Amino acid sequence: MATNRQLGEFDIIEQIFRPLSGQDGLQLSDDVALLSRYDIVTKDLLIAGTHFLPDDPPDMIARKALRTNISDIICKGARPAGYLLGLALPRSCDADWLQQFADGLAQDQQAFGVGLLGGDTTRHAGDGPLVISITLFGKMEQGQEPVLRTGAQPGDLLAVTGTIGDAGLGLAVAQGQLSVAPDADELLIQCYRVPVLRPEFAPMVASHASAALDISDGLIADAGHIASASSLSLYIDLDKVPLSPMAQTWLSTQPDKGSALATLASFGDDYQILFTASPERIPALKSLAEEKGVPFAVIGQCREGEGVSVLCNGKEITPPKRGHDHFVED
Protein backbone atom coordinates (compact mmCIF):
# COMPACT_ATOMS: atom_id res chain seq x y z
CA MET A 1 0.00 0.00 0.00
CA ALA A 2 1.38 3.43 -0.93
CA THR A 3 2.03 5.96 1.82
CA ASN A 4 2.89 9.63 1.91
CA ARG A 5 6.25 8.98 3.59
CA GLN A 6 8.93 11.12 1.92
CA LEU A 7 12.68 10.54 2.15
CA GLY A 8 15.69 12.55 1.02
CA GLU A 9 18.13 11.13 -1.53
CA PHE A 10 20.63 9.87 1.04
CA ASP A 11 17.88 8.53 3.33
CA ILE A 12 16.65 6.46 0.39
CA ILE A 13 20.15 5.07 -0.17
CA GLU A 14 20.69 4.27 3.51
CA GLN A 15 17.27 2.97 4.47
CA ILE A 16 15.99 1.33 1.29
CA PHE A 17 18.94 0.17 -0.83
CA ARG A 18 21.91 -0.22 1.54
CA PRO A 19 20.57 -3.57 2.87
CA LEU A 20 20.90 -4.91 -0.70
CA SER A 21 24.61 -4.05 -0.89
CA GLY A 22 27.56 -6.14 0.24
CA GLN A 23 31.26 -5.68 0.89
CA ASP A 24 32.13 -5.14 -2.79
CA GLY A 25 29.47 -2.43 -2.95
CA LEU A 26 30.98 -0.77 0.14
CA GLN A 27 27.46 -0.72 1.67
CA LEU A 28 26.69 2.07 -0.84
CA SER A 29 28.86 4.44 1.22
CA ASP A 30 30.99 5.69 -1.69
CA ASP A 31 30.83 6.85 -5.32
CA VAL A 32 32.29 3.56 -6.58
CA ALA A 33 32.13 -0.19 -5.96
CA LEU A 34 35.04 -2.63 -5.88
CA LEU A 35 35.26 -5.22 -8.64
CA SER A 36 38.61 -6.38 -7.27
CA ARG A 37 41.33 -4.88 -5.14
CA TYR A 38 42.41 -2.68 -8.05
CA ASP A 39 39.29 -2.34 -10.22
CA ILE A 40 36.33 -0.06 -9.50
CA VAL A 41 33.04 0.85 -11.17
CA THR A 42 30.65 3.80 -10.97
CA LYS A 43 27.26 4.71 -12.45
CA ASP A 44 25.55 8.08 -12.97
CA LEU A 45 22.08 8.75 -14.33
CA LEU A 46 21.36 12.09 -16.00
CA ILE A 47 17.90 13.42 -16.91
CA ALA A 48 17.11 16.39 -19.14
CA GLY A 49 15.81 19.27 -17.08
CA THR A 50 17.47 17.95 -13.92
CA HIS A 51 21.16 17.44 -14.73
CA PHE A 52 21.36 19.50 -17.90
CA LEU A 53 19.12 21.88 -19.80
CA PRO A 54 17.03 20.23 -22.54
CA ASP A 55 18.24 22.72 -25.17
CA ASP A 56 21.95 22.36 -24.34
CA PRO A 57 24.03 21.38 -27.40
CA PRO A 58 23.98 17.57 -27.90
CA ASP A 59 27.77 17.23 -27.91
CA MET A 60 28.04 19.07 -24.60
CA ILE A 61 25.30 16.93 -23.04
CA ALA A 62 27.30 13.86 -24.03
CA ARG A 63 30.55 15.24 -22.66
CA LYS A 64 28.96 16.18 -19.34
CA ALA A 65 27.40 12.73 -19.00
CA LEU A 66 30.74 11.03 -19.58
CA ARG A 67 32.70 13.46 -17.41
CA THR A 68 30.45 13.09 -14.37
CA ASN A 69 31.34 9.40 -14.37
CA ILE A 70 35.04 9.91 -15.13
CA SER A 71 35.13 12.33 -12.21
CA ASP A 72 33.99 9.57 -9.83
CA ILE A 73 36.86 7.39 -11.02
CA ILE A 74 39.71 9.89 -10.94
CA CYS A 75 38.81 11.18 -7.46
CA LYS A 76 39.50 7.66 -6.19
CA GLY A 77 43.02 7.85 -7.65
CA ALA A 78 42.17 5.58 -10.60
CA ARG A 79 42.20 5.98 -14.37
CA PRO A 80 39.03 5.49 -16.46
CA ALA A 81 39.09 2.34 -18.59
CA GLY A 82 35.80 1.96 -20.50
CA TYR A 83 32.05 2.47 -20.20
CA LEU A 84 28.56 1.16 -20.92
CA LEU A 85 25.96 3.59 -22.28
CA GLY A 86 22.20 3.47 -21.83
CA LEU A 87 19.87 5.95 -23.54
CA ALA A 88 16.13 6.55 -23.25
CA LEU A 89 15.48 8.98 -26.10
CA PRO A 90 12.60 11.43 -26.50
CA ARG A 91 10.75 11.26 -29.78
CA SER A 92 12.32 14.57 -30.84
CA CYS A 93 15.86 13.09 -31.04
CA ASP A 94 16.68 12.57 -34.71
CA ALA A 95 19.77 11.20 -36.47
CA ASP A 96 21.47 14.62 -36.63
CA TRP A 97 21.04 15.10 -32.87
CA LEU A 98 22.41 11.62 -32.18
CA GLN A 99 25.42 12.20 -34.42
CA GLN A 100 26.29 15.39 -32.55
CA PHE A 101 25.86 13.49 -29.28
CA ALA A 102 28.20 10.76 -30.52
CA ASP A 103 30.72 13.38 -31.66
CA GLY A 104 30.82 14.73 -28.11
CA LEU A 105 31.43 11.26 -26.72
CA ALA A 106 34.20 10.69 -29.26
CA GLN A 107 35.89 13.95 -28.31
CA ASP A 108 36.08 13.03 -24.63
CA GLN A 109 36.86 9.38 -25.29
CA GLN A 110 40.03 10.59 -26.97
CA ALA A 111 40.74 13.17 -24.26
CA PHE A 112 40.45 10.69 -21.38
CA GLY A 113 41.50 7.44 -23.03
CA VAL A 114 38.23 5.52 -22.67
CA GLY A 115 36.11 3.49 -25.07
CA LEU A 116 32.49 2.44 -25.37
CA LEU A 117 32.08 -1.21 -24.35
CA GLY A 118 28.35 -1.65 -25.03
CA GLY A 119 24.95 -0.59 -23.76
CA ASP A 120 21.30 -0.26 -24.73
CA THR A 121 19.06 2.30 -26.40
CA THR A 122 15.30 2.77 -26.35
CA ARG A 123 12.77 5.48 -27.17
CA HIS A 124 9.95 6.86 -25.02
CA ALA A 125 6.48 5.90 -26.20
CA GLY A 126 5.22 9.30 -25.04
CA ASP A 127 6.79 12.61 -24.13
CA GLY A 128 9.45 11.44 -21.67
CA PRO A 129 12.74 13.35 -21.29
CA LEU A 130 16.18 12.29 -22.48
CA VAL A 131 17.70 9.92 -19.91
CA ILE A 132 21.40 8.97 -20.02
CA SER A 133 22.83 6.14 -17.94
CA ILE A 134 26.58 5.51 -17.96
CA THR A 135 28.45 2.76 -16.13
CA LEU A 136 32.18 3.44 -16.14
CA PHE A 137 35.02 1.15 -15.10
CA GLY A 138 38.28 2.33 -13.58
CA LYS A 139 41.62 0.74 -12.83
CA MET A 140 44.17 1.50 -10.13
CA GLU A 141 47.87 1.42 -10.84
CA GLN A 142 49.69 -1.69 -9.65
CA GLY A 143 50.07 -1.74 -5.88
CA GLN A 144 47.64 1.12 -5.19
CA GLU A 145 44.12 0.88 -3.79
CA PRO A 146 41.20 3.28 -4.33
CA VAL A 147 40.92 6.20 -1.92
CA LEU A 148 37.49 5.92 -0.33
CA ARG A 149 35.44 8.34 1.77
CA THR A 150 36.15 6.38 4.94
CA GLY A 151 39.86 7.07 5.51
CA ALA A 152 39.94 10.59 6.96
CA GLN A 153 41.48 10.96 10.42
CA PRO A 154 41.22 13.73 13.05
CA GLY A 155 43.97 16.22 12.30
CA ASP A 156 43.91 15.63 8.54
CA LEU A 157 43.60 18.75 6.43
CA LEU A 158 40.70 19.27 4.01
CA ALA A 159 41.63 20.49 0.52
CA VAL A 160 40.02 21.01 -2.87
CA THR A 161 41.28 21.32 -6.44
CA GLY A 162 40.34 24.07 -8.87
CA THR A 163 37.71 26.68 -8.09
CA ILE A 164 34.24 26.43 -6.59
CA GLY A 165 30.85 27.82 -7.63
CA ASP A 166 31.36 28.52 -11.34
CA ALA A 167 28.99 25.80 -12.53
CA GLY A 168 26.18 27.01 -10.28
CA LEU A 169 26.63 30.57 -11.50
CA GLY A 170 26.73 29.24 -15.06
CA LEU A 171 23.38 27.50 -14.63
CA ALA A 172 21.84 30.72 -13.31
CA VAL A 173 23.24 32.64 -16.30
CA ALA A 174 21.96 30.00 -18.75
CA GLN A 175 18.50 30.22 -17.18
CA GLY A 176 18.50 34.02 -17.49
CA GLN A 177 18.54 34.57 -13.72
CA LEU A 178 21.71 36.68 -13.62
CA SER A 179 24.51 38.20 -15.66
CA VAL A 180 27.96 38.47 -14.09
CA ALA A 181 29.75 40.31 -16.90
CA PRO A 182 29.52 40.16 -20.71
CA ASP A 183 32.91 38.47 -21.06
CA ALA A 184 32.26 36.07 -18.17
CA ASP A 185 28.75 34.78 -18.83
CA GLU A 186 29.62 32.40 -21.67
CA LEU A 187 32.60 31.01 -19.73
CA LEU A 188 30.37 30.34 -16.72
CA ILE A 189 27.80 28.55 -18.89
CA GLN A 190 30.63 26.42 -20.28
CA CYS A 191 31.64 25.48 -16.72
CA TYR A 192 28.11 24.19 -16.13
CA ARG A 193 27.81 22.36 -19.44
CA VAL A 194 31.29 20.74 -19.55
CA PRO A 195 32.98 20.37 -16.14
CA VAL A 196 36.75 20.79 -15.93
CA LEU A 197 38.27 17.53 -14.61
CA ARG A 198 41.68 16.93 -13.04
CA PRO A 199 42.81 13.47 -14.24
CA GLU A 200 46.47 14.40 -13.73
CA PHE A 201 45.71 14.73 -10.00
CA ALA A 202 44.53 11.10 -9.68
CA PRO A 203 48.01 9.63 -8.99
CA MET A 204 48.55 12.24 -6.28
CA VAL A 205 45.26 11.28 -4.65
CA ALA A 206 46.27 7.62 -4.73
CA SER A 207 49.66 8.33 -3.15
CA HIS A 208 48.82 10.98 -0.56
CA ALA A 209 45.08 11.38 0.22
CA SER A 210 43.37 9.63 3.12
CA ALA A 211 39.82 10.18 1.79
CA ALA A 212 38.42 11.73 -1.38
CA LEU A 213 35.34 12.33 -3.50
CA ASP A 214 34.24 14.64 -6.28
CA ILE A 215 32.02 17.66 -5.70
CA SER A 216 28.70 16.96 -7.38
CA ASP A 217 26.16 17.92 -4.69
CA GLY A 218 28.04 21.00 -3.43
CA LEU A 219 31.23 21.53 -1.43
CA ILE A 220 29.54 21.69 1.97
CA ALA A 221 27.25 18.71 1.35
CA ASP A 222 30.03 16.55 -0.06
CA ALA A 223 32.32 17.44 2.84
CA GLY A 224 29.52 16.09 5.00
CA HIS A 225 29.71 12.78 3.15
CA ILE A 226 33.38 12.43 4.09
CA ALA A 227 32.63 13.38 7.70
CA SER A 228 29.82 10.82 7.92
CA ALA A 229 31.72 7.99 6.22
CA SER A 230 34.87 8.61 8.30
CA SER A 231 32.92 9.09 11.57
CA LEU A 232 34.37 12.50 12.41
CA SER A 233 33.64 16.20 12.09
CA LEU A 234 35.34 18.79 9.95
CA TYR A 235 35.24 22.50 9.45
CA ILE A 236 35.37 24.57 6.26
CA ASP A 237 36.80 28.09 6.25
CA LEU A 238 34.87 29.84 3.48
CA ASP A 239 37.50 32.58 3.27
CA LYS A 240 39.97 29.95 2.00
CA VAL A 241 37.68 28.39 -0.63
CA PRO A 242 39.27 29.08 -4.06
CA LEU A 243 37.20 31.21 -6.41
CA SER A 244 37.64 32.14 -10.05
CA PRO A 245 37.83 35.81 -11.07
CA MET A 246 34.27 35.40 -12.40
CA ALA A 247 32.97 34.17 -9.04
CA GLN A 248 34.88 36.94 -7.27
CA THR A 249 33.19 39.49 -9.53
CA TRP A 250 29.79 38.10 -8.56
CA LEU A 251 30.77 37.99 -4.88
CA SER A 252 31.72 41.67 -4.95
CA THR A 253 28.10 42.56 -5.84
CA GLN A 254 26.55 40.65 -2.93
CA PRO A 255 25.51 42.47 0.27
CA ASP A 256 26.26 39.56 2.64
CA LYS A 257 29.69 38.03 1.97
CA GLY A 258 29.21 35.07 4.31
CA SER A 259 25.87 34.08 2.81
CA ALA A 260 27.21 34.55 -0.72
CA LEU A 261 30.30 32.41 -0.05
CA ALA A 262 28.07 29.73 1.46
CA THR A 263 25.89 29.85 -1.64
CA LEU A 264 28.91 29.26 -3.89
CA ALA A 265 29.98 26.40 -1.62
CA SER A 266 26.54 24.78 -1.83
CA PHE A 267 26.25 24.80 -5.63
CA GLY A 268 26.63 21.41 -7.28
CA ASP A 269 28.30 20.36 -10.53
CA ASP A 270 31.82 21.61 -9.73
CA TYR A 271 33.34 18.10 -10.12
CA GLN A 272 36.52 19.19 -8.40
CA ILE A 273 38.31 16.74 -6.08
CA LEU A 274 37.68 17.23 -2.37
CA PHE A 275 40.18 15.29 -0.28
CA THR A 276 41.79 14.92 3.11
CA ALA A 277 45.47 14.35 3.81
CA SER A 278 47.73 14.46 6.84
CA PRO A 279 49.57 17.79 7.29
CA GLU A 280 52.86 15.99 6.59
CA ARG A 281 51.63 15.04 3.11
CA ILE A 282 50.65 18.53 1.99
CA PRO A 283 54.14 19.84 1.03
CA ALA A 284 54.78 16.86 -1.27
CA LEU A 285 51.30 17.26 -2.76
CA LYS A 286 51.86 20.95 -3.42
CA SER A 287 55.16 20.24 -5.15
CA LEU A 288 53.64 17.56 -7.38
CA ALA A 289 50.56 19.69 -8.11
CA GLU A 290 52.69 22.64 -9.16
CA GLU A 291 54.62 20.39 -11.55
CA LYS A 292 51.34 19.26 -13.15
CA GLY A 293 49.72 22.69 -13.08
CA VAL A 294 46.83 21.55 -10.87
CA PRO A 295 45.86 24.17 -8.28
CA PHE A 296 44.50 23.11 -4.92
CA ALA A 297 43.82 24.90 -1.64
CA VAL A 298 43.62 23.77 1.98
CA ILE A 299 40.21 24.92 3.23
CA GLY A 300 39.66 23.16 6.55
CA GLN A 301 40.52 20.32 8.89
CA CYS A 302 39.10 17.11 10.34
CA ARG A 303 38.33 16.84 14.06
CA GLU A 304 36.75 14.51 16.58
CA GLY A 305 32.96 14.67 16.58
CA GLU A 306 30.41 14.70 13.78
CA GLY A 307 29.03 16.99 11.11
CA VAL A 308 30.40 20.00 9.24
CA SER A 309 31.03 23.46 10.69
CA VAL A 310 31.18 26.39 8.27
CA LEU A 311 33.27 29.44 9.19
CA CYS A 312 33.48 32.92 7.68
CA ASN A 313 35.63 35.71 9.10
CA GLY A 314 36.55 33.35 11.91
CA LYS A 315 32.94 32.87 13.04
CA GLU A 316 30.65 29.89 12.52
CA ILE A 317 27.70 30.62 10.24
CA THR A 318 24.60 28.71 9.18
CA PRO A 319 24.55 28.31 5.38
CA PRO A 320 21.18 29.02 3.75
CA LYS A 321 21.63 25.69 1.96
CA ARG A 322 24.29 22.97 2.23
CA GLY A 323 23.95 21.31 -1.16
CA HIS A 324 21.70 19.54 -3.63
CA ASP A 325 19.37 16.61 -2.92
CA HIS A 326 17.25 15.33 -5.83
CA PHE A 327 14.50 14.22 -3.46
CA VAL A 328 14.20 17.41 -1.40
CA GLU A 329 12.43 20.45 -2.84
CA ASP A 330 14.46 23.68 -2.81
Tell whether residue 270 is among the known ligand binding residues: no
Tell whether residue 39 is among the known ligand binding residues: no
Tell whether residue 325 is among the known ligand binding residues: no
Tell whether residue 228 is among the known ligand binding residues: no
Tell whether residue 96 is among the known ligand binding residues: no
Q: Tell me the residue type at 134.
A: I
Tell whether residue 193 is among the known ligand binding residues: no
Distance (Å, whole) CA 305 – CA 73: 29
Tell whether residue 119 is among the known ligand binding residues: yes
- Reading across the β-sheet that carries 79-89, which strands appear in turn? 33-34, 39-47, 131-139, 79-89, 116-123
Tell whether residue 44 is among the known ligand binding residues: yes
Q: Which residues of 250-281 are buried (b: 16+ CB within 10 A; e: fewer)?
A: bbeeeeeebebbbbbbbbbbbbbbbbbbeeeb
Tell whether residue 51 is among the known ligand binding residues: yes
Distance (Å, whole) CA 157 – CA 301: 4
Tell whether residue 59 is among the known ligand binding residues: no
Nearest one of 252, 272, 47, 60 to 165, comparing CA atoms = 272
- Reading across the β-sheet that carries 273-277, which strands appear in turn? 211-214, 273-277, 157-161, 296-303, 233-237, 307-312, 315-317
Binding residues for Mg(2+): 31, 42, 44, 72, 120, 214, 217
Q: Which residues are annotated as a binding site?
A: 31, 42, 44, 51, 72, 119-120, 149, 214, 216-217, 269
Per the annotation, binding residues for substrate are 51, 269
Binding positions for ATP are 119-120, 149, 216
